[in-house]
Amino acid sequence: MRLRRPWVLTVLIASLLTCIVGQERAHEKLFTISIAPPTSAKDVQVRYALTGEFGLISSSTTATDDGGALVIRTVVESKPATTFKAIAYAPGCQFVVMSVGDLSSSNRHGQFECQKLPTTLLQGRVPTSSLTGKDLQVEALYVCDWAAHFFGIQDGAISPFSLGKVTVATDGLFAFELPDFAGDPLWSTYSNDATLIFYLVDAGNGQRIGTLTPSASLSHGSRLKVASSYDGEIQFTVQQ
């Protein structure tokens, strides 16, 4: 019996802690997004919006990794949210959207399961003569213009999704294997309103040197329109 008492006490303490954590989560009114393997929770980017007595707020990925899940707090200024919408993305995957019209009757749970998209090659070139000796990278971001409509936001921008970085060769050439976002099932209803923005980055310190402006038929100011294919080599200029 003496050998069993510490074990029994350990089980009781663990059960009590589980109960306390469960009560805390219920009180905090959390929304949990389970991440299906093999995707890691740390690779999933989330943009979400809440409405309630506080009005409407949107946020970037402030969710926390909780053992294969993303946990989002749905209380603002001590006031519980009544609705929840989210857009989730992981590199190379289709977008996943979630919409809950009444959190009070919801199980407060969603799931992200990666459905791979085919890729499309984008080749570009940047002038590097003034940057000799630097290790350079190009960073690509997906500007989610359609998020404002999905979230019901009249004014304000949503943080873009990161598509990663690639190395720039000494002659200024770089290449991205981008997801074919035009092949996403959401393209016809939501996600066709999107652009890409590129930054030139000093790989030595991680600092952005400037914005890359494309010279192409698909250019949209300093951005590039999302397309199913990008023909030829796109010339970019650097705006510091």
pTM, to two decimals: 0.82
Going by pLDDT thresholds of 50, 70 and 90, the confidence category of residue 28 is: low
Percent of the chain at pLDDT > 90 equals: 62
CA distance 52 to 84: 10
Residue range 213-217: average pLDDT?
85
Q: Average pLDDT over the chain, rounded to whole?
A: 85
Going by pLDDT thresholds of 50, 70 and 90, the confidence category of residue 15 is: very low
pLDDT value for 2: 46
Residue range 67-96: average pLDDT?
93
pLDDT value for 63: 62
Residue 23: pLDDT above 70? no
Domain with CATH 2.60.40 in the chain: 4-112, 119-239
| Of residues 57, 36, 39, the one with CA closest to residue 48 | 57
The matching CATH number, chosen from 1.20.120, 2.60.120, 3.30.70, 2.60.40, for 119-239 is 2.60.40
Least confident of 70-79, 106-115, 154-163: 154-163
Residue 131: pLDDT above 90? no
pLDDT value for 122: 96
Residue 176: pLDDT above 70? yes
For domain 4-112, give the CATH number: 2.60.40
Our CA dihedral for 224, 228, 232, 236, rounded to 10 degrees, sits at 10
pLDDT value for 29: 86
Residue range 172-177: average pLDDT?
96
pLDDT value for 231: 86
Least confident of 57-61, 102-106, 185-189: 57-61
pLDDT value for 210: 92
